[in-house]
Chain A
């Protein structure tokens, strides 16, 4: 690990404040039928600076809601959300967000898509485009600058989305099942690339997924959320060494052990959610 000035300041701030802090957060939505639906109830979470934090849970447990609360896209109904020691009020420019579905702009080509963030943040056009070219190269899309998203494969579009987020050098990176639409091979590849990019960026990551294997391979800690209304069921430190190779790590004995341990917790929640959905149908 390189000990540059940013990691030193991080270690100092580590002792005083966490990067992300959710205290007794409750979020209710109004359903189209006019009833209140509680997505999250009394959720408490704390993510350290530079930490890779994975959130797993059954479908509809409020994982995505957690991210939109941290990003400032949504406000909590009760409780407090803090980022870098400050209560979240609106969108924080230090936050990056990779969405589950395609959120790249279909009318912009790859170059302009990646340059969107810097341009929105007021950088001069020439500089923004130059940095965009650099990031396109880093995600391995050189030569595709003038393609439109519909001309790319799902994996390539995801790379565009990653470059679009990473170019803003976020200190907090929120990822909402970013690779769930990809095939298994592409997915493993992208997970490795994500780990590489993360290690050079030293950002705190909150990675939401329904795939426990993915969560354990990537994260420092894995948090299991209960079937909705979501609250923390358990948090598990993942003591696998870094740097990790996603395609190899899942065969290590410690990985399998952790998987069994966490799956015990997760399975109950998945069953609850499954039974509920069955009754609804």
Chain B
């Protein structure tokens, strides 16, 4: 212990000659501490939960049990669910989510850019957009199920509705916030209205739009799952619904865990897309190696 504390004292007061290696070791040490604390926190939470159910503080029938959740996931993966193989359920929900996300993003960007560029149209439609946005849109789920049936369309439609407004408002705002100097410069350099839209407005609004993609992907997932709650033949939402109505708390948690994994993986994809599209942006301070 004393050796370590001595060393750390030296590294903090070390002159520039040793500055580079000592800061990298300090950074590595910090990362190790952060990661081990993260693991420790997880172990304490899950372990505490498991222990509390074992000694009888928490009733596993109502609140589930980590070992039971894991067993449920294993059973689903090996023996399949009531609606068929597990991967099929994941695939169905994922397909609904991705379709809803893509359609919602495209519609949102188009409408956002058009209304952002056209003050007259924005003035006319403004109040209606506000009203539509103020309605809690998940309430559309039963309506969409009636109108579009129990198949994929109703879930995709709900996801589209949820995604659309988020992307729309961000695209609209992004267009409105375009730097006046850049617009003036583009006009002086000879840009037509169409090229101003494609080469100045959209690239500039892109950082706003992309910032909204993280949120809107999780909303697309909400749309798909809620749509499946209301009425479906397949999907993770239906699995949760079934587990819930059978008082299978472990089943609900197991499906939630699967959803969380799916959501995290797709968020990583959105981040990769963001880095690809926004290469021109300076890195934020936290990304820099100081």
Contacts and interface: CB of A to CB of B under 8 A. Distances in A.
A117 B190 contact: yes
Given A105-B200, A107-B280, A150-B282, A120 B182 contact: no
Interface string A78-105: 0000000000000101011101011111
Given A120-B190, A120-B195, A108 B184 contact: no
A107 B204 contact: yes
Main secondary structure on A side of the interface with B: loop
A119 to B, nearest CB: 9
30 contacts: A68-B184, A71-B188, A91-B190, A93-B190, A95-B188, A97-B184, A97-B188, A99-B184, A101-B181, A102-B181, A103-B181, A103-B182, A103-B185, A104-B185, A105-B182, A105-B199, A107-B280, A109-B280, A116-B189, A116-B199, A120-B186, A120-B190, A120-B191, A120-B192, A121-B190, A148-B279, A148-B280, A150-B282, A168-B189, A168-B190
A166 B188 CA distance: 12
B101 to A, nearest CB: 24
A106 interface: yes
B31 interface: no
B68 interface: no
Given A105-B203, A121-B190, A99 B185 contact: yes
A121 B189 CA distance: 8
Contacts of B184: 68, 73, 97, 99, 103
Nearest to A106: B280
A96 B188 contact: yes
B213 to A, nearest CB: 17
Given A107-B280, A116-B199, A117-B189, 4 more contacts: A97-B185, A105-B185, A120-B191, A150-B281
A171 interface: no
Interface string A98-133: 010111111111000000110011000000000000
A18 interface: no
B153 to A, nearest CB: 37
A164 interface: yes
A66 B151 CA distance: 63
Nearest to B279: A148
Contact of A73 (B187, B191, B206): B187
Nearest to B184: A73
Nearest to B196: A120
A120 B198 CA distance: 12
For the complex of A and B, the 3 pairs showing the least CB-CB separation, nearest first, are A103-B185, A150-B282, A120-B190
Interface in B234-281: 279-281
B188 to A, nearest CB: 4
Contacts, number: 62
Interface of A: 68, 71, 73, 91, 93, 95-97, 99, 101-109, 116-117, 120-121, 148-151, 164, 168
Contacts of B279: 148
Main secondary structure on B side of the interface with A: helix
Contacts of A105: 182, 185-186, 199-200, 203
A157 to B, nearest CB: 13
Contacts of B192: 120
B44 to A, nearest CB: 43
Interface in B168-205: 179, 181-182, 184-192, 195, 199-200, 203-204
Contacts of A99: 181, 184-185
A117 B195 CA distance: 12
Contact of A91 (B179, B187, B203, B280): B187
B274 to A, nearest CB: 14
B186 to A, nearest CB: 7
Contacts of B199: 105, 116
A85 B41 CA distance: 77
B188 A73 contact: yes
A107 B190 contact: no
Centre residue among B189, B192, B200 by max chain A CB count within 10 A: B189
B71 to A, nearest CB: 51
Contacts of B181: 99, 101-103
A117 B185 CA distance: 10
A118 to B, nearest CB: 9
A104 B182 CA distance: 7
A23 B168 CA distance: 46
A95 B189 CA distance: 9
A148 B278 CA distance: 11
A150 to B, nearest CB: 4
A11 to B, nearest CB: 28
